[in-house]
Structure 1
């Protein structure tokens, strides 16, 4: 029986396959793992004095979703929003499947961006982000179709009961913490999760977090457009405002500065109350459930289970708090 490929062998094979699929030329090529996210593994592909970012999609691929990502990214670039270019392969597709004897991987190829993680306390970054969010909502005006369930619905009692039983049966040490969350915080947040009213939707980024912004030589760059899709601008703005102004440790000055930059750039979203944060609550609840399920899923790798467990615990402890949301609404006093 042949020995399984070592990680460095797999990376080498993948690098050569990327170079061929994207017509990058002759090597030698190197593939270095950079970071792991909820949707995929990021690699740095280098050769011939150039570098690219490769996103390996670990949960499969929706090709229509990638088409939305590419279209929104291009429209946003025309309005001045900097982002890594999503390269087509030699057949013109923005996502490719690499075949290996042990299975295949869906991959996307982007420009490599050198930079530092955005500081959400930096006033200039907050100004940039407020303007960028307004421009995104302009770039994606007139979206067709409703937002996805991930942003509009959340787990019900049966869903929570099922995942809690799995976590308990697996003997994970945070099962009691999950139980308390399900009994207290989850229903309070779920009360405000509703479908968006029809009309007025935009195609937007849907994951506007500081970790998705790098500050490079020429300024901030917006990364990770994988989730692009329809959204009510009010709800995306509310979620972003909560995340960028400190989460549950509300920074009122930061929130007001960000909102002012958004408004001055033409942003129209207005917060009316906890209902504006429906997307924030839905995504938080859905993410906790999915990561808790991943932590006990026998069909995924041990590394994926470990990642799911860490993410579930972190998000249980940082889930949105209604008091913080109320403070944000009051601070903006009905203005964007």
Structure 2
């Protein structure tokens, strides 16, 4: 993308490290500061719908959803106005912050934005035994952990493919969690919209409420924070879907796919020019191999949060 319309640079672009899927830079010009995101178009699990997402962002920004102003988008680059704020730590947020996130989602789901039909989802891959063999053959440091969890990952894939989603389907952000949020004067700002699309409402609410109510593990879940997200959603005019495992299957499915994608990046052993650094992929694999079986085993406990 030609960035000349953003003004004359007053310094070089600065890499902002830590992105789990793409690469982010800060660009300061005589017209302000901008977040320039280079999309990973080399080995993504699905193509980005950058222009469709840009229209959704424009509508959300115009409706007053707290978010960075969308400036430009094409198939490989996204530009937003830079927002100063505090990172949201990997720990339960405050009840008022969680309540406001719920209200924000209700407002987002009420927007009237055209969205073309999405292709049907393909069956969840079941190649975990083969991945375990390749991990052992290439000497991956987590090969033993993967081999010991193959049956669990196959059971998780079965759950993802067979769990009934009650609806309704909403156009939404799909990735509301601490590392996609800022706190500005204690209030939320929602970042990183590129995964936006249609999603079963229970999956959006369950993944959002759980990620905001937990810390680095599932032993630290704060039920009052979880419920605050749902209370905020109702206060914002939304209606809650019926309880059930579908509230958590979307989060499990996304984590499963992200772990598998990073396994493939580690097996290749080559630093890809886009997306996360190889060291971050290794860390993501270890987190998935330990966290996913834990979450899968706790599903009854998580469903109790909906009572």
* Normalised TM-score (structure 1): 0.78
User: Which of 168, 174, 177 does residue 200 from structure 1 map onto?
Assistant: 168
Structure 1 match to 2:63: 79
- Structure 1 residue 209 displacement after superposition: 0.7
Distance 2:131 2:27 in 1: 38
Structure 1 match to 2:197: 229
Structure 2 match to 1:278: 249
SS in 2 for 1:30: coil
Please give the per-residue CA displacement for 1:25-69, whole angstroms capped at 9, x wherever unaligned: 334432111123232111111132721111012334888701221
SS in 1 for 2:161: coil
Distance 2:31 2:167 in 1: 48
Distance 2:129 2:59 in 1: 43
Q: Which has the larger radius of gyration?
A: 1
Give runs of aligned pairs for residues 248-267 of structure 1, distance below 5 A. Answer: 248-249=218-219, 250-267=221-238
SS in 2 for 1:45: strand
Change (3 A) 1:118 1:205: same
1:190 maps to 2:186: no
CA contact (8 A) 2:58 2:70 kept: no
Distance 2:264 2:285 in 1: 9
Change (3 A) 1:148 1:37: farther
Q: Relative contact order (C-alpha < 8 Å, sep 6+): which is higher?
A: 2
Question: Any stretches of 5+ residues in structure 2 without a counterpart?
Answer: none
Number of paired residues?
A: 296
Give runs of aligned pairs for residues 32-47 of structure 1, distance below 5 A. Answer: 32-47=14-29
- Structure 1 residue 140 displacement after superposition: 5.9
Change (3 A) 1:197 1:144: farther
SS in 1 for 2:6: coil
CA contact (8 A) 1:19 1:26 kept: no
1:310 maps to 2:280: no
- CA RMSD in angstroms comes to 2.8
Distance 1:147 1:231 in 2: 13
Structure 2 match to 1:126: 98
CA contact (8 A) 1:140 1:202 kept: no
Change (3 A) 1:65 1:74: same
Runs of 4+ off more than 6 Å: 61-64
